[in-house]
A and B are shown apart, each in its own frame.
Chain A
Amino acid sequence: MVDVHRTLDAAWKLEAARVVGALTRMVGDVGLAAELAQDALVAALEQWPRDGVPDNPGAWLTTVAKRRAVDHLRRAKRTVAAGEDEQAQEPDSGDDVLRLVFLACHPVLPTVQRVALTLKLVCGLTTEEIARAFLVDARTIADRVALAKRTLASRPPRAAGQLGSVREVIYLVFNEGYSATSGDDLLRPGLCLEALRLGRVLAELVPDDPEVHGLVALMELQASRSAARTGPGGEPVRLHEQNRGRWDQLLIRRGFTALLRARGSGPPGPYVLQAAIAACHAGARSAEETDWARIVSLYDALVHLVPTPVVRLNRAVAVGMAHGPEAGLALVDSLTDDLRDYHLHPGTRGDLLLRLGRHPEAAREFERAATLTDNAAERAFLRRRSTEAAAPVGRVLVDVADEFLARTDLDRSTLRSYAQTLARLRKAVGDRTPIAALTPQDIATMFTAAWSTASPKTWNRHRAAVRSFCSWSGIPDLTSTVERRKEVRNRAQAVELDRVWQLPDAPVRERLLWTLLHESGAPVRAVLDLDVEHLDLPGRRATGPISLRWRENAAHLLPQVLAGRTAGPLFLADRRPGPGRPPREGDLCPVTGRGRLSYERAEYLFKRATGLTLGALRH
């Protein structure tokens, strides 16, 4: 089970930062220190397979490497005492590590070199490992490391003030792992782990810097979602669709703790703000409970500090969630010039357009985003979204139904009726059924089960709703096996109606409703939807969204029911609504605070008084 090479590799990775840090202090040059460390590794590779792995591999490596450094100093005729001092007073290895990190992340180096050098010297990764993680060939990484060492040898680094550069390198490594910009895997967990560990080490070494804690908090919180953000096929799962049960609570807790440590004097910096945004998501029990208003305000502060187009794009997403897709879209559109060729721009636009029901445009944007991304998993995901947006048939019932019912071109009573039908359909076949998979048989079964004893009128109403839904969502008409039923007017009911007008103690509200229905011939929903401000009493008609006429009996009853009210629903419920069920604003009487009389209640009252249904009054 013990593989010498792998044991050596593990021991080296645990010790690399401390060993190279100490050697750099001793010989004064990071390049030379790295070479000496390499010598120690070579020695281990020669001796360990022959003599067995030492009891304490880490200590072995440290000792051998330091001995090489002393040998070197002796050969270079430098003061030998340096090596002996070393034995006498072992300085804090934390200082060595910190100095090494600052050196590797030195601002004189180009970013790619900083990253390569840090992973190589501080994390102990091999050139091949770094190359694999960044999907470049090993030669490139070797060159970057060599070049960086040469630069640092000729230019002694300044002492302090480079913490920002260190944070940048760490976050870059993290992001390369977390949102891999290219390649086939969406996540390269190895890089995330390296960055996390490096960040945690830095937070211990520089405990007074709020931004370092902010960076750690940000990474912990983002890493907590890594298991949930890819699906079984490696495809990305968007934040609001992630299974929050799979978020790593341990990392979330660490993230919150780090965020608490980040609280310093003065206004929060960019990492603290981003961590606070991540914390908003981590703290929300469900996607719906996300405090988007707070996230927007955090983004406002972040945009102030880091006014880059990408940050502004993220803010636009938050605004789209807090204030609706139109507000978000306006902001996204204002960034078009700055974010040309950045795949998340059309991707975000596509999302917002989809929410606005502008499918063909959304499809085009997803297609553009797919072309722009270098990540294979993400490209496949965007292509699929594009196809779905172009033809909503690939989508699941609940989503299409919600969009269908969010239409603004239908009056409320129709929508309410459609909603009833679709709610039944969802129960019959399941929310997540793709609408393309619905069959006429499904529909026929539902009609038989739900409405076989209903009146022909009800039957036909539901049938019409399904037909309308099919044609709107672009799937074939599924009612082919559901016969339209012949509607017969019930003469017997008409005769019974006479009885209604003679009921002695019916309240005036009910009598008006019944009379209005009878005199106008309008649908029950339409009459219940009447608002006071739309009544033309002298003209005996309603104007506005619902237009109908009545005759003298209703005209006689109306003023009694109105009782001086000038706005709000004409027909009011008996009681004020409970706190749990706030009605729509238009359904609330400004004078009495009572809600609109519901269809169900009106139907119940009529049935109790007469044994008939309200529909009978229309004939």
Chain B
Amino acid sequence: MRYLMTSKAGGQAPDERLYQEMGKFVEELTAAGVLLATGGLAPAGIRVSSVGDEITVTDGPFAEAKEAVAGFALVEVRSAEEALELTKRFRRIVGDGESVIQQVF
């Protein structure tokens, strides 16, 4: 089963140590055949909404920088617990902040 983990922008600015540890973590998960895709998201975005026949396009940013999703990881795991365990490891590396995991159908 697949899970998508999205993370909001963390409190502290990334330093050299964080980059290194994250690099190692990503490498390890890729080697283990678990991490399928990962990436960061730019703070700016374009919102496209539709009501009836009308489509509205709005340029972002939209929320507090802290609330915006800043990165994602798509993992292939055996169970929800495994996804949770991986997310915990990720949080331990990046420090304060918040991630959400959702199963991908």
Q: Which residues of A are at the interface with B, using a C-beta cutoff of 8 A?
A: 2-3, 6-7, 9-11, 13-14, 55-58, 94, 190, 193, 196-201, 204, 250, 254
Contact = CB atoms under 8 A, between A and B. Distances in A.
B89 A56 contact: yes
Contacts of B34: 197
A226 to B, nearest CB: 12
Interface in B60-94: 74, 76, 78-79, 81-82, 84-86, 88-89, 92
Most interface-central of B30, B31, B33, B37 (chain A CB within 10 A): B33
Given A13-B78, A193-B76, A201-B31, A250 B36 contact: yes
Contacts of A94: 31
Interface in B37-69: 37
A559 B5 CA distance: 81
Contacts of A198: 33
14 contacts: A6-B79, A9-B79, A9-B81, A10-B82, A13-B78, A14-B85, A56-B89, A57-B85, A94-B31, A193-B76, A197-B32, A198-B33, A250-B36, A250-B74
A14 B33 contact: no
B33 A200 contact: yes
Given A56-B92, A250-B37, A10 B32 contact: no
Contact of B79 (A10, A58, A200, A254): A10
A121 to B, nearest CB: 16
- Range of interface residues on B (Cβ < 8 Å): 10 to 19
A10 to B, nearest CB: 4
Contacts of B81: 3, 6-7, 9-10
A14 B31 CA distance: 12
B36 A197 contact: no
A304 B84 CA distance: 48
Interface in B1-55: 30-34, 36-37
Contacts of B89: 56, 58
B78 A193 contact: yes
B84 A10 contact: yes
A14 B82 contact: yes
B33 A197 contact: yes
A60 to B, nearest CB: 12
Most interface-central of A94, A197, A198 (chain B CB within 10 A): A197
Given A55-B92, A200-B32, 19 more contacts: A6-B79, A7-B81, A9-B81, A10-B82, A10-B85, A11-B85, A13-B78, A14-B32, A57-B85, A58-B85, A193-B76, A197-B33, A199-B33, A201-B31, A204-B31, A250-B36, A250-B37, A250-B74, A254-B36
A193 B33 CA distance: 9
Contacts of A11: 85
B26 to A, nearest CB: 13
Contacts of A7: 81, 84-85
Given A6-B81, A7-B85, A14-B82, A201 B32 contact: yes
**Ordered nearest first, which 5 A-B pairs have the shortest CB separation?**
A200-B33, A10-B81, A197-B33, A204-B31, A10-B82
Given A56-B92, A57-B85, A58-B85, A10 B78 contact: yes
Nearest to A124: B78
Contacts of B37: 250
B50 to A, nearest CB: 23
Contacts of B74: 250
A166 B88 CA distance: 32
A201 B36 contact: no
B25 to A, nearest CB: 12
A190 B79 CA distance: 10
A191 B89 CA distance: 25
A306 to B, nearest CB: 26
Nearest to B76: A193
Contacts of A6: 79, 81
A308 to B, nearest CB: 29
A14 B92 CA distance: 17
A58 B78 CA distance: 16
Contacts of A13: 78, 82
Contacts of B31: 94, 200-201, 204
Contacts of B78: 10, 13, 190, 193
